[in-house]
Amino acid sequence: MAATGKTHENWSSRSAFILAAVGSAVGLGNMWRFPAEAGENGGGAFVLFYIFCVLLIGLPVLLSEVLIGRHGQANAPESVRRVARDSNAPEGWSILASMGVFAAFLILSFYCVVGGWVVYYIGVFISDLVQTGLAGGAFEGRAAGDIEGLLPGLFGNGGLMVGLNLGFLAVTMFFVARGVSSGIEWVAVYLMPIFFVLFLGITIYGAFTGNFGEAVAYLFTFDFSKLTGEVMLAAVGQAFFSLSLGVAGMMTYGAYANRDTNLGETSGIIAGADTMVAMLAGLAIFPIVFAAGLSASAGPGLMFQSLPIAFQAMPFGSLIGLAFFVMVFFAALTSSVSLLEAPTAYVFEKFKLARPVATLIVGLGAAALGVLSSLSFNDMAEFYPLSFIPLFAETNFFDTLDGVTAKLFMPIGAILTCIFVGWIADAKLIDDENGLDGVLHQTWRVLVRFVCPIALTIILLAGLFA
């Protein structure tokens, strides 16, 4: 069945699509959130359940999302509406993507806050490089506590936090305003390869200089008793966050894919690359953390506080630190671009605005929320917006947005997507789009119809109420 009318540009090639989608998936979620979540949720139990979630839930949902987008060739809610229309199903199903677009907007607002921290550390390492020169470690002569104190120091400076947050958002807006091929694709095609080269270099370096054995044992020893409902929900949430799922991001990118792209194969490449980067990030960060005698459960501070201490002990430490944070910046930018693109595509197609105008409207909204997130580390630290829900009691604005999107919006969006693709949409239409044959096709079908929605519902309920 043919898609009904096309409203926007396409990727220039299949590899551009893959790079952009991998760019969306690989980001702060892999480098910053994954190690933090793994450390806070007990290591091995979390990591292995996470891999299980990627394979059995994330991958089938990813294919479902890009498939809806490719068929619809429009912004996410409109794509769902077109699939529903071509399947003689109620068009109200588009609500699943409208929720996703809203969630992407929420994530964008706090994602750019963390993007701002990355920019800060780039500045820190540049000034260190200028002061201490190339050779020797970073931060020569400074105490570990001093280096760890850089992040709280930043948090205490509300004005700087807001400025960096808005700066990162502005760069994101610049590329999205330029459009699919000359903006979004450009970022992915030029920055992702540089990211991979820097990333591999740093991982190999970390593995050789740090406590690799302890890190492997920590990340891959499965302790069943640690697998609580909360840990499972955290793992599913992380899998979705990392694969950019449940929030219309991949539907939006799928809409720019050409008809001759095999979506099954492409989804496998995206999920494989993303998971590999998350594992390698864990294997880069934890050896260094253990070698320096730091705590694995440092949470969000892990990447920003622990690693710089390790860079102090390394030859060329300032340069390596700088390379590391530049690499994280590239990864974060290719993800924030996709977070902004999902709501922007919706706004400009729906209200028939020029792309830059839509970018500006969405960007200003994200800036307003971002300011609240930035201030939740200082002036508004005691503000707990959802304190009446036990899971979010004593959770500040920033953490509430993070928790609500990863633990509610993403799983609920994914459950609805599975029901829609597995049960509501026309089976022939789905088969024509998915690029799978034989056993793989059957397996995917069973996963989308039964395994994913049932498992996700159980995990969601267990995590919320257990």
Q: Does 64 bind ligand PFF (CB under 6 A)?
A: no
Q: Does 116 bind ligand PFF (CB under 6 A)?
A: no
Q: Does 234 bind ligand PFF (CB under 6 A)?
A: no
Torsion sign across C-alpha atoms 56, 60, 61, 62:
positive
- With contacts defined by CB under 6 A, name the span among 53-61, 217-225, 333-341, 452-460 that binds ligand PFF: 333-341
Among positions 79, 203, 261, 335, the unique one binding ligand PFF when judged by CB under 6 A: 335
Site for ligand PFF in 145-184 (CB under 6 A): none
Among positions 54, 57, 84, 104, the unique one binding ligand PFF when judged by CB under 6 A: 104
CB of 343 to ligand PFF, least distance (A): 10
- With contacts defined by CB under 6 A, name the span among 22-30, 312-320, 388-396, 457-465 that binds ligand PFF: 22-30
CB of 321 to ligand PFF, least distance (A): 21
Q: Does 256 bind ligand PFF (CB under 6 A)?
A: no
> Would you say 87 or 400 has its CB closer to ligand PFF?
400
Q: Does 30 bind ligand PFF (CB under 6 A)?
A: yes
Question: Measuring CA to CA, which residue among 22, 345, 5, 71 is closest to residue 185?
Answer: 22
Among positions 23, 27, 237, 321, the unique one binding ligand PFF when judged by CB under 6 A: 27
- With contacts defined by CB under 6 A, name the span among 28-36, 39-47, 72-80, 351-359 that binds ligand PFF: 28-36
Among positions 10, 73, 244, 318, the unique one binding ligand PFF when judged by CB under 6 A: 244
Task: Round to whole Å and give the CA distance between 336 and 251.
Answer: 15
Task: Round to whole Å and give the CA distance between 102 and 405.
Answer: 10
CB of 338 to ligand PFF, least distance (A): 5
Among positions 45, 97, 107, 367, the unique one binding ligand PFF when judged by CB under 6 A: 107
Q: Does 192 bind ligand PFF (CB under 6 A)?
A: no
> Would you say 75 or 242 has its CB closer to ligand PFF?
242
Angle at 284 between CA 52 and CA 230, to 5 degrees: 40
Token pair 């109620």 is found at 90
Task: Round to whole Å and give the CA distance between 300 and 238.
Answer: 14
Q: Does 188 bind ligand PFF (CB under 6 A)?
A: no
Provide the token pair at 269: 């490449």
Question: Measuring CA to CA, which residue among 316, 17, 72 is closest to residue 184?
Answer: 17
Largest CA distance in the chain: 70
Q: Kindly state the number of chain residues that form the binding site for ligand PFF, as judged by CB under 6 A.
A: 16
Burial class (CB in 10 A: 0-12, 13-18, 19+), 313: middle
Q: Does 29 bind ligand PFF (CB under 6 A)?
A: yes
CA distance from start to end of the chain? 45
CB 411 within 8 A of CB 99: no
Q: Does 79 bind ligand PFF (CB under 6 A)?
A: no
Q: Does 28 bind ligand PFF (CB under 6 A)?
A: yes
Q: Does 247 bind ligand PFF (CB under 6 A)?
A: yes
CB 265 within 8 A of CB 444: no
Angle at 169 between CA 166 and CA 172, to 5 degrees: 155
Q: Does 24 bind ligand PFF (CB under 6 A)?
A: yes
Distances (CA, A) of 142 to 64, 66, 119, 308, 418: 51, 49, 21, 12, 53
Question: Measuring CA to CA, which residue among 219, 230, 221 is closest to residue 296?
Answer: 219
Q: Does 339 bind ligand PFF (CB under 6 A)?
A: yes
Task: Round to whole Å and give the CA distance between 298 and 309.
Answer: 13
- With contacts defined by CB under 6 A, name the span among 142-150, 255-263, 334-342, 395-403 that binds ligand PFF: 334-342
DSSP for 349-369, written as a single string: HHTT--HHHHHHHHHHHHHHH
User: Where do contacts with ligand PFF occur on this chain (CB under 6 A)?
Assistant: 24-25, 27-30, 104, 107, 241-242, 244, 247, 249, 335, 338-339
